[in-house]
Each structure stands twice: as structure tokens, then as C-alpha cells.
Chains A and B, each alone.
Chain A
Amino acid sequence: MPVQFKERAISVIVNNRPDVLARIAGTFSARGFNIESISANITRNPAVTKIIITTLTTPETITNVIKQLNRLIDVLEARRLRRPQAVCREMILARIPLTKERQESLRELIDTRGGKTVSLEPGSAVLEFTGDKEDLEEILTRLEALGMEDFSRTGVIALERSKS
């Protein structure tokens, strides 16, 4: 049977302490797994942080990783987020040089893909896009064609569609 490596998302609720990220990263690295993306921020309770991690693993491995995460003292809860019950989104900021000839295609991209201009300087703009992984891959391809200078991309954030 072929090993089913797939990108899988985990939600980890942790105590907001200085070394908690190191502990979580260590749990992955100790078993030889790479964190594909990570995003973290405080929750309603500022002493508690929610971390969304995506990783490329098999189903057996993800189960084991989650058990190991739950064993960490500062982890309050670690669990899988399964699609399609959960929505997964990312965000990019992209810096584009402004030229007359590309203005039209840029305007079209912003309008059709729900982009936002967050900074406008003479000669360059920073645009913001959100979407799922596939959306953003496509948007990035088009931005490259428009001469994108640099970009920054967040990790995945995810949320279940309804209370389970």
C-alpha cells in the first residue's frame, strides 16, 4: 500500500509561555518531521495561544504526533483539523512596482481575487490577498508575471465550519 503523505492541519491550544514554541517544534523535529507552515496568536484569553500547524505526514504519524503534543505540559489541547469540516486560509503581502502598462491587469487581479491595496507609494504598491493554498498559488503566479519584487506569506489558519 502506498504511504499516504499529505499535508494535514493540527490545532494546538497552549499556555502562552516563552519556550512553548520550542517544545512544539522539538516534538516534530525529534521524530524527523517538518513543519510546513505555522501560525500562532493569542486567543480571547491572552495567557492562551492558538497555533495552527500544517505538516506533511501519514495518518499514523499524525495520530502519534498529536498524542505526543498532548503529552506536553503546556499543551492544553491538540487535535486534527479535517477538511472539509474546517476552512483553511492563508494571507500574502506582495510588493509590486507600478507601471502604466501593467496597471490594467493589476486592477483586474485585485478586483477578481478580492485583493486590497494596503500601501501605495510612488512607483510601488503593497497588495494583500487571502485564500486557500491553491488560490494563493495561482495569485502568486500571476503576481510574478506582473513583476512582483517580494512577498511575505503567512502560515495556514483554520477553523471548523460549525461546532462539532
Chain B
Amino acid sequence: MQQTGSQILFTALKEENVDTLFGYPGGCVMDIYDELFRQEIRHILVRHEQGAIHAADGYARASGRVGVCLVTSGPGATNTVTGIANAYMDSIPVVVLTGQVPTAMIGNDGFQEVDITGITRTCTKHNFLVRNIGDLHRTVREAFQIARSGRPGPVLVDLPKDVIQSVTEAELPRTVVPPAEEGRPDLEGLCTEALKMLLQAKKPLIIVGGGVILGKASEVFRAFVKKFRIPVVSTLMGLGAFPASDPLWTGMLGMHGAYSANMAVSHCDLLIAVGVRFDDRATSKVEAFAPHAKIIHIDIDPVSIDRIVRTDLAIVSHCTPALDTLHRLSDEQGLTLPERQIRAWLNQLRQWKAEMPLSYCRNQNIKPQYVIEKLHQLTQGRAIIATEVGQHQMWAAQFYRFDEPNAFLTSGGLGTMGFGLPAAIGAQVACPDRIVVDVAGDGSIQMNIQELGTIAHYGLPVKVVILNNLYLGMIRQWQELFYGRRYSQSDMTQAPDFVKLAEAYGIKGLRATKPEEVKRVLQEGLETPGPVVMDFHVEPEENVFPMVKPGTPLTEMAFGNVRAVA
């Protein structure tokens, strides 16, 4: 049977059970789009290619499946680069299909030609330039396999126009997908060693990271933690892996972490880190990180072992088999941590939590934290929250109190403003029955605001909550605290009327300017079918606290004026 490159591409996508493409057409992918016209696969037409890659990323984060984006050559491809780097930093499995000029033209500076495999070599897990139609099917399948295996990440496949247009008689190879990776053979030995260390601990603590969510290990993680009653702190990316409503929950650690979490890390005698890579925003001054603790590090990526923090025991493994083995071995041997051994530690943690909970002062203005608290209340904590980057992102992390994994979609590693809105699109497409909210700032939302067009086009019921303080708030906060209040280029007073802007897109717009309006606006926004933009005029100079100054120990937290209230 004769097949075109386009047909082979869609065959491979079908074999990978791809149900949605996020994309934007262009000259070099006209043939793919022509074939798409005949195919049943869903395509979401974004308004900018950066939106496509972030939407694929959001789809992957919310669903745990590989997200796919399709763009043309040249500018189409380069517009995805920020999003690819974003997915790479947060280990998100996405496959990026880019058009390319015909193979004979490559290297001749053709119209809309760019060396996208060269450009993305250091921000993809792997990339391919497909030169022959004979390689097309295998390459696309391999791209998905690479994207989701091991430590996941973005994979780009560059598709020259002639490869896509050409026709082959050859039968598609029966692509053999490698079997799921096994745990390491010495997992039992390492886990036995880990349990030995745990049984000796008087002040055990466990850090949960994004790897637990990516590895779909939340359940076994919870079971293991509860069995030994180990207090849990989380990285930004780990939020939701362990419920914030659980008594063992000790908070997010790091620069804007909870007092109890940063104190716990700084005083524990055993630290079990699961699926974390010790980002500098989490550890702050590395030399002062967990100074009294033996450290056990469980992670799938050997590169993250001993890179930042020296470990006493490294277990290179997916989180699920490692935690499964820990759980099983402790069951078999009837191991527990005696109450008297950790009682003092658990009391200490309770005290820290009571002493200095996350808090803020109320006044006649809307406090951004209050908006998040109300949002949590009205959605019963069950919404998927995407964020942009900045103050609002930290407030969402602190005050939404995530109980479930795959519910907090945030640009953790790269810190990409403009991520939240398209990520929310991807999440809403993946999870049509969930409430999906983009918590945004007035600065960030303007970075990919064109995606309101996509939301309107497909009637996606994404709710956008703008915490509008007319500043680039996090920049302003640093300028206030570290740069003598010189607010250099952080003033965003010249903002659009977000309500009218929403309405121009055919989207409902709501606004609250006083605290007593917050609940009503949120309620109306959440109850209205379809997309809604809610513009909250919040306290302009509110700061995110606690705050650890970069490069200082986690114990050196600033609280602003919060301490008086707590």
C-alpha cells in the first residue's frame, strides 16, 4: 500500500494513542495539516506557537501523558524554544513536531529555514531530523518512548517537507517498544540500608519532589510516610504529591517556604529526598542545608545525585519501585518507628507550625492571599491550578493547600512568565470535567494573553484569576527589599482594562476592588459556564513572606510584618 509521510506520521501518532495536537499551521507543514483534515485526531489551534508548546506541557502535567505540539519551520519552531526549555527544566514529557524546509534546501538559508535541532540540542532530552521517509515511523515512535521513559523530557522531531510529501510502498516496520524499565537489581539491598538508617533516626524528615508526581508514585509515597509517621516537606514541584491537609504535612520548603518546613529541614537528623534535584530556590545556601542530617536521595536521574547536595545513600531508581520496595521490606520485617523515639520531634514540628503559620495582615484592600484562600474554599481544593511566574505563583503555592497530584501546574525550573494561560488550556483539554484556573499576575498574563482567543474559540471553561497589583510584583518586592526601593521598570500602571479585554474576546469579565466583593466575583466566575476572566485589584505593595534571601541559610527567614499577627 502506498503511503505518504503525512499518513505515516498520523499512523505513528495513533499508535501512541495521541488524542490531541496543539499547533499552528505554516508553509512547511501544509501537507501534514492537509492530512489532518482527513484524520479524526483533535487539533487545538493556538494563537502563538509558544502557546502550543505550553498547552502540550500543561496537558502532560495534568494527565500524566505525553503532550504533543505541531508547528511549522523557522519562526514556528523558534517560538517553541522557551516552552521546550521550560518542559526540559521541569522534566515534562512532550513531543514537538516541527516542519522543516526540503532536505535538498537544508543549509541554504531557505525561506523559514532554521536549524532547530541545533538550537534545541541543549534544551531537549533528545531531538531528531528525519532525512528519509523510511526512518519516519520508527523515529516518531522512538520520540515518544524517549519523552516518557527514565527522567521524562521534551523530544523534538524535525520533519522536512519532502519527507512528509514523499510516498513509500514499504510496509511500516513493526516498531518494538522497549519494555518498561525495571528497578535496579540491588534495590532490595539499598532499601534495606535506607530502612536501617530510618530506624535509627530521632528526627526523620522526607522531602517530596516533582519526581513523585511524574513517576505516579503519590499513593505509595503516602502509604510509606504514614506507616512510619515521617513528617513531609515538599518542593514547589512536589506540591500535591502529599496532601496539605494531612497532620504530617509540614509545608513547602525554600525561599518562600513555610517556617515549619525550613526549620524542619535545618534540624532533622535524617532527610529522605524523593524525586528532587535540590534546586537552589529550595536549598538556599547549600553549605547550610540540612546540616545535621544524613541524607538518602532517591531519584531516577544519576546526574542529580551528589551534584548539589552530598548524599549518604543514593538510590537511583524510579520513585515507585523504590518506595514499593521500602514499603514491602518494612512490612515483611514488621518495622516501625517507636512512638517514643520520634515523639519529641513531632511535638517540635507541631510547635513550629503553630508558632508561625503562613499568614498575612488584612486591611481595607484585597489581599492576594485572601483571593487564593477563597478560591480554595469555593473549589473545595479540587481545582487544577496553573500559574504564571511571580508573586501570585508563590501565593498560589502557599495558600491553595494542594491535596492531590497533577493539580498544580507551574513553571518551577525555568520560571516562564506566560506559561499559565496556555498550560491551563492544555489541562482543560486533558481534563474537560475539572475546574481549571489560571492564577496570574497582571504582568505575566500579558505575556501570552493572545491565548484568550484560543479559549474563546473552543469555549474552554478556563477561569483566569488575575491578582492585579499594577506592578511586576516580585521584581518590585526584590527592589523594595534589596535595591533601596528603586522601582526600576517594574511599574505596570499602564495596564489594559482586563474586563473589557476579556469581553473583546467574547469572554465574560468580572472585577473586584474591595475585599467584600471577592467571594461574590469568584462564585459568579466559577458558576458561569465557559471561560471567565476575573480581575482582582489587590494590595499593590504586598510582599511574599516568609522570604529567605538568596545565598543565606534556610533558617534566616524574613517575615515582614506578619509576625505581629501570628
Q: What residues make up the interface of A, taking CB atoms closer than 8 Å to B?
A: 19, 22-23, 26, 30, 63-64, 67-68, 70-74
Identify the stretch in B173-181, B300-308, B433-441, B444-452 within 8 Å (CB) of chain A at 4 or more residues.
Answer: B300-308
| Chain A residue nearest in CB terms to B146 | A73
Interface size class of B (residues with CB under 8 A): 10 to 19
B107-137 toward A: CB 8 Å interface, digit per residue (1/0)?
A: 0000000000110011001100100000000
CB neighbours (8 Å) of A63 from chain B are 306
Bound complex: CA A70 to CA B118 (Å): 20
A68 B121 Cβ-Cβ under 8 A: no
CB neighbours (8 Å) of A73 from chain B are 125-126, 146
Q: Show 9 A/B contacts (Cβ-Cβ < 8 Å), sorted by A.
A: A19-B121, A26-B122, A63-B306, A64-B307, A67-B303, A67-B305, A68-B303, A71-B301, A71-B303
Q: Which 3 A-B pairs rank lowest in CB-CB distance, beginning with the nearest?
A: A73-B126, A67-B303, A67-B302
CB neighbours (8 Å) of B305 from chain A are 67
Least Cβ–Cβ distance between A69 and chain B, in angstroms: 10
Besides A23-B121, A63-B306, A67-B305, 5 other A-B contacts (C-beta < 8 A): A19-B121, A19-B129, A22-B121, A71-B303, A72-B126
CB neighbours (8 Å) of B306 from chain A are 63
B121 A26 Cβ-Cβ under 8 A: yes
Interface residues of B in 356-392 (CB under 8 A from A): none
Least Cβ–Cβ distance between A129 and chain B, in angstroms: 37
Given A71-B301, A73-B125, is A22 in contact with B118 using a C-beta cutoff of 8 Å?
A: yes
CB neighbours (8 Å) of B121 from chain A are 19, 22-23, 26
Bound complex: CA A63 to CA B307 (Å): 10
Most buried by A among B117, B121, B146: B121
Least Cβ–Cβ distance between B458 and chain A, in angstroms: 35
Q: Which of B117, B146, B302, B307 contacts A70 (CB 8 A)?
A: B302
Most buried by B among A64, A72, A73: A73
Least Cβ–Cβ distance between A61 and chain B, in angstroms: 11
CB neighbours (8 Å) of B125 from chain A are 73
CB neighbours (8 Å) of A67 from chain B are 302-303, 305
CB neighbours (8 Å) of A68 from chain B are 303
Bound complex: CA A23 to CA B485 (Å): 44
Bound complex: CA A67 to CA B150 (Å): 14
Least Cβ–Cβ distance between A35 and chain B, in angstroms: 16
Bound complex: CA A26 to CA B121 (Å): 8
B280-311 toward A: CB 8 Å interface, digit per residue (1/0)?
A: 00000000000000000000011101110000
Bound complex: CA A23 to CA B118 (Å): 9
CB neighbours (8 Å) of B301 from chain A are 71
Bound complex: CA A118 to CA B306 (Å): 50
Bound complex: CA A103 to CA B121 (Å): 53
CB neighbours (8 Å) of B126 from chain A are 72-74
Bound complex: CA A33 to CA B307 (Å): 16
